[in-house]
């Protein structure tokens, strides 16, 4: 705690690095997961190999995965970000495919029968209905990404993990405490923000909670 | 109001051993309620979905107001055809008002007009706009959801409505209320309605004419009275339950069995009943009062006489039907 108060500038720099890694990774991961999920939804037989493959990736320990990526992308933030993208894919793709499959077919038939075009059905019906499920995936992915970014410090990527690893190396407990607290606070904050977003993406559920 | 024509329409699904709809030719008149009736899997839904091009026939053609529907863009065609399905298919993330506004928005109506239309339609299906406008579908009963579904289908002011077992999942009492509602709306709006049902009573109550289907083919297409009195074959006879006399009497109108007033008619002491009461009502009135004849009234004026013999004749015709 004391370290947080005495070195706010340093902690802020690391926090921004941490956020930058997480943000880039999530952005890329989301951009990748949407077409992948649409493909899996369209071509049903792809679901097992794609989700299975991504699931296997998820079981590799993050440290091992990053080490494996270093020869390809170098000892820097890129390797860590790639690892974060790979890790979060399974969560995002799974939530998106399950969410899309979960839309009541009668609703889609009504949309078609009322004369909506493919694009109108996507933006006015499928997107709003799948959004809460997808955002729940994004939230879990964000927490996972924040955790992996912490390990990034070992690979020259900076971030709040640096406080932890420096602290361990130099026996500076104040740094370790400050690092863990900062990471935890970050994860909780992002989780809370995304939870709020999820809630607002669901007007029909919001009403139920209010009454 | 629209007319609808099927000309030799068939649809064979890929891999289907026989056509789901086989060589259907018929004409639905403007402002008419036609109920498509038949056992499960006989092709009712398939026939209906070809009208708004959710399915395309493999043979034949369908004409809406004389124009082949294939000549029109599918989305544009659908915006002009009301469509109501069994599970309502309301958009769960939209309020009742937004659900009703879908087609007007697709049609690009100005905002004030859309708002006025929402209130008008909700009032029409007896959901007070003030109370229901801002609710979500999850906050409605099944019957209310179907009312919204009907309002939504009417929103773009289509000439024709397609309804696929809209009340199939609704309890019997609410279903009867909704059927009355359809008849009331129809009296006001005069749409052409194609209504799928596998409930005989529903068909007899609603239909101007019933299209009886079996294995993808039209078996008989006629008025409820003619179906009951002159079923084309055993299948129609059994399907309509024409052997349950008392029930059938409940479905036939007095007007269909009465005789015209004789010239020397003077209003004696006959009990009276309305021309749209059922023969069952008539029978029970005769049994209760012991009167030899009933005077049938239309808007208060006597228009016919009905005796036990007339009622018996309606039953006899059917007893002579193929067994
Ligand atoms: N999309 C489809 N692909 C292949 N076959 C289909 C498809 N839809 C319906 N069928 C078949 O076509 C036939 C007619 O089906 P349809 O849905 O029109 O019946 P229905 O009369 O509406 O029955 P129900 O009363 O059960 O709704 C059935 O044998 C059905 O299995
Ligand atoms: Mg059906």
Q: Which residues of B touch A122 (CB under 8 A)?
A: none
User: Is residue B10 within 6 Å of ligand 1 at its C-beta?
Assistant: no
Contact by Cβ (8 Å): A79, A64: no
Domain boundary among B243, B276, B300: B243
Banded model confidence at residue B323, pLDDT cuts 50, 70, 90: very low
**Of all protein residues, whose CA lies closest to atom 31 belonging to ligand 1?**
B41
- pLDDT of residue A165 exceeding 50, the answer is yes
Which residues are within 5 Å of ligand 2 (an ion), measured at CB?
A: B 45
Q: How far is B52 from chain A (nearest CA, A)?
A: 7
Q: Which residues of B touch A106 (CB under 8 A)?
A: 85-89
How do B160-164 and B4-11 pair as beta strands? unpaired
The closest CB to that of B54, out of A112, A116, A128, belongs to A112
B91 touches chain A (CB under 8 A): yes
Q: What percent of chain B has pLDDT over 70?
A: 97
User: pLDDT digit string (tens) for B270-290?
Assistant: 899 988 888 888 999 999 998
In what order do the strands lie in the sheet containing B217-222? B81-85, B160-164, B192-197, B33-37, B209-214, B217-222
**Domain CATH number, residue B313:** 3.90.1280.20
Instruction: Evaluate the CA torsion angle B118, B120, B124, B129 in order and state its sign.
Output: positive
Contact by Cβ (8 Å): B83, A114: yes
User: pLDDT digit string (tens) for B204-259?
Assistant: 889 999 999 999 999 999 998 888 878 999 999 988 876 777 777 887 778 888 88
The structure's pTM equals 0.84
Task: Report pLDDT for A209.
Answer: 45
B108 and B221 in a common domain: yes
B137 and B103 in a common domain: yes
In what order do the strands lie in the sheet containing B293-298? B259-260, B301-307, B293-298, B272-274
B252 and B143 in a common domain: no
The closest CB to that of A109, out of B77, B89, B95, belongs to B89
- Of A170-179, B110-119, B129-138, B310-319, which gets the smallest average pLDDT? B310-319
Nearest CA-CA partner of A18 in A189, A195, A151, A197:
A151
What is this model's ipTM? 0.82
Q: Determine, for residues B79 and A204 on separate chains, whether the beta-carbon distance falls below 8 Å.
A: no
B297 and B270 in a common domain: yes
Task: Report pLDDT for B318.
Answer: 52
Mean of all residue pLDDT scores within chain A: 90
Which atom of ligand 1 lies closest to the CA of B46? Answer: 18
Task: Report pLDDT for A44.
Answer: 86
Q: Determine, for residues B92 and A204 on separate chains, whether the beta-carbon distance falls below 8 Å.
A: yes
Task: Report pLDDT for A7.
Answer: 80
**Domain CATH number, residue B228:** 3.40.50.300
- pLDDT of residue B303 exceeding 50, the answer is yes
B170 and B277 in a common domain: no
Contact by Cβ (8 Å): A201, A136: no
B225 and B87 in a common domain: yes
The domain containing residue B264 runs over which residues? 248-320
Which of B42, B164, B168 maximizes ligand 1 atoms within 8 Å of its Cβ, making it the mutation to test the pocket? B42
User: Is residue B39 within 6 Å of ligand 1 at its C-beta?
Assistant: no
Q: What percent of chain B has pLDDT over 90?
A: 65
Task: Report pLDDT for A208.
Answer: 53
User: Is residue B43 within 6 Å of ligand 1 at its C-beta?
Assistant: yes
Distance B13 CA to ligand 2 centre (A): 15
Counting Cα atoms < 13 Å in the Cβ hemisphere of B221 gives 15
User: Is residue B227 within 6 Å of ligand 1 at its C-beta?
Assistant: no
User: pLDDT digit string (tens) for B42-92?
Assistant: 999 999 999 999 999 999 999 999 999 999 999 999 999 999 998 889 999
In what order do the strands lie in the sheet containing B67-68? B21-28, B4-11, B59-64, B67-68
Domain boundary among B190, B223, B243: B243
Which of A109, A113, A209 would best serve as a mutation to test chain B binding (most B beta carbons within 10 A)? A113
Spell out the domain ranges in chain A. Answer: 2-206
B112 and B166 in a common domain: yes
Nearest CA in chain B to A208: B139
Name every residue whose Cβ is closer than 8 Å to that of residue A144 and which is 6 or more positions away in sequence: A84, A87, A88, A91
Mean of all residue pLDDT scores within chain B: 91
The closest CB to that of A115, out of B103, B138, B162, belongs to B103
Measured torsion, CA atoms of residues A107, B200, B176, B50, in degrees rounded to the nearest 10: 30
Token representation of residue B35: 């109920």
Banded model confidence at residue A158, pLDDT cuts 50, 70, 90: confident
Q: How far is B279 from chain A (nearest CA, A)?
A: 40
Measured torsion, CA atoms of residues A69, A70, A75, A80, in degrees rounded to the nearest 10: 10
Q: Determine, for residues B89 and A106 on separate chains, whether the beta-carbon distance falls below 8 Å.
A: yes
Q: Is residue B323 classed as helix, strand or coil in its secondary structure?
A: coil
- pLDDT of residue B320 exceeding 60, the answer is no
Contact by Cβ (8 Å): B45, B196: yes
Token representation of residue B259: 């005789």
User: Is residue B265 within 6 Å of ligand 1 at its C-beta?
Assistant: no
Query: CA A102 to CA B149: how far, in whole Å?
Result: 21
Contact by Cβ (8 Å): B312, B249: no
Q: Domain count of chain B?
A: 2
Q: Determine, for residues A204 and B137 on separate chains, whether the beta-carbon distance falls below 8 Å.
A: yes
B106 and B31 in a common domain: yes
Distance B302 CA to ligand 2 centre (A): 44
User: Is residue B236 within 6 Å of ligand 1 at its C-beta?
Assistant: no
Query: How many angstroms separate the Cα of A88 from the Cα of each of A58, A96, A111, A188, B274?
Result: 8, 12, 32, 18, 73
Which of B16, B24, B165, B239 maximizes ligand 1 atoms within 8 Å of its Cβ, making it the mutation to test the pocket? B16
E strands of B43-158, at which residues? Answer: 59-64, 67-68, 81-85
User: pLDDT digit string (tens) for B16-42?
Assistant: 889 999 999 999 999 999 999 999 999
Name every residue whose Cβ is closer than 8 Å to that of residue B24 and which is 6 or more positions away in sequence: B6, B8, B9, B10, B47, B60, B217, B218
User: pLDDT digit string (tens) for A51-73?
Assistant: 899 989 888 998 899 999 999 99
- For the residues A131-159, what does the mean pLDDT come to? 91
B69 and B205 in a common domain: yes
Token representation of residue B177: 């209320």
CA B109 to chain centre: 30
B256 and B149 in a common domain: no
Banded model confidence at residue A210, pLDDT cuts 50, 70, 90: very low
Contact by Cβ (8 Å): B311, B258: no
Q: Which residues of B touch A125 (CB under 8 A)?
A: 91
Token representation of residue B242: 């024409």
Domain boundary among B226, B243, B260: B243
Name every residue whose Cβ is closer than 8 Å to that of residue A24 and which is 6 or more positions away in sequence: A81
Q: Is residue A26 classed as helix, strand or coil in its secondary structure?
A: helix
Q: Determine, for residues A113 and B138 on separate chains, whether the beta-carbon distance falls below 8 Å.
A: no
B299 and B284 in a common domain: yes
- For the residues A12-19, what does the mean pLDDT come to? 91
Q: Which residues of A touch B89 (CB under 8 A)?
A: 104, 106-107, 109-111, 113
B83 touches chain A (CB under 8 A): yes
B88 and B234 in a common domain: yes
CATH 3.40.50.300 is the classification of domain A2-206: no
């Amino acid at each position: 705690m004391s370290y947080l108060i005495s070195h706010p500038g340093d902690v802020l720099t690391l926090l921004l690095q941490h956020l930058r890694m997480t943000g880039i990774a999530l952005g890329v991961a989301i951009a990748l997961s949407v077409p992948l999920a649409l493909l899996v939804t369209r071509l049903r037989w792809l679901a097992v190999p794609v989700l299975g493959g991504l699931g296997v990736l998820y079981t590799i320990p993050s440290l091992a995965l990053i080490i494996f990526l270093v020869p390809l992308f170098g000892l820097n933030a890129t390797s860590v970000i790639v690892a974060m993208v790979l890790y979060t894919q399974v969560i995002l793709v799974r939530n998106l495919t399950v969410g899309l499959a979960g839309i009541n077919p009668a609703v889609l038939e009504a949309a078609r029968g009322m004369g909506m075009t493919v694009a109108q059905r996507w933006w006015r019906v499928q997107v709003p209905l799948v959004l809460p499920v997808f955002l729940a995936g994004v939230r879990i992915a964000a927490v996972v990404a924040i955790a992996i970014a912490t390990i990034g410090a070992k690979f020259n990527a900076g971030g709040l993990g640096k406080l932890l690893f420096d602290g361990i190396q130099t026996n500076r407990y104040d740094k370790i405490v400050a690092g863990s607290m900062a990471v935890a606070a970050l994860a909780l904050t992002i989780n809370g923000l995304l939870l709020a977003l999820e809630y607002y993406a669901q007007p029909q559920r919001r009403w139920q909670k209010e009454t | 109001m629209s007319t609808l024509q099927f000309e030799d329409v068939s649809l064979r699904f890929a891999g289907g051993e026989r056509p789901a709809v086989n060589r259907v030719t018929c004409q639905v008149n403007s402002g008419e309620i036609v109920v498509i009736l038949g056992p499960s899997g006989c092709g009712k839904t398939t026939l209906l979905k070809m009208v708004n091009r959710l399915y395309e026939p493999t043979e034949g053609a369908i004409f809406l107001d004389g124009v082949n529907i294939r000549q029109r863009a599918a989305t544009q065609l659908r915006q002009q055809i009301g469509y109501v399905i069994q599970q309502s298919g309301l958009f769960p993330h939209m309020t009742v008002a937004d659900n009703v506004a879908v087609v007007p928005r697709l049609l690009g109506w100005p905002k004030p007009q859309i708002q006025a239309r929402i209130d008008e339609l909700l009032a029409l299906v007896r959901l007070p706009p003030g109370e229901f406008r801002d609710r979500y579908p999850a906050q409605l009963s099944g019957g209310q959801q179907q009312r919204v579904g009907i309002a939504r289908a009417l929103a773009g002011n289509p000439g024709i409505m397609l309804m696929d077992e809209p009340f199939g999942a609704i309890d019997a009492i609410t279903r009867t209320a909704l059927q009355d509602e359809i008849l009331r709306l129809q009296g006001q709006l005069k749409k052409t309605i194609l209504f799928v049902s596998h409930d005989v009573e529903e068909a007899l109550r609603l239909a101007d004419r019933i299209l009886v289907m079996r294995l993808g083919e039209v078996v008989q297409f006629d008025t409820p009275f003619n179906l009951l009195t002159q079923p084309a074959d055993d299948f129609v006879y059994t399907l309509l339950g024409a052997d349950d006399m008392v029930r059938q009497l409940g479905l036939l109108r007095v007007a269909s069995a009465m005789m015209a007033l004789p010239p020397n008619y003077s209003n004696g002491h006959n009990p009276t009943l309305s021309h749209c009461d059922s023969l069952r009502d008539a029978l029970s009135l005769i049994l209760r009062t012991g009167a030899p004849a009933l005077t049938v009234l239309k808007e208060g004026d006597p228009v016919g006489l009905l005796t036990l013999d007339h009622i018996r004749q309606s039953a006899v015709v059917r007893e002579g039907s193929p067994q």
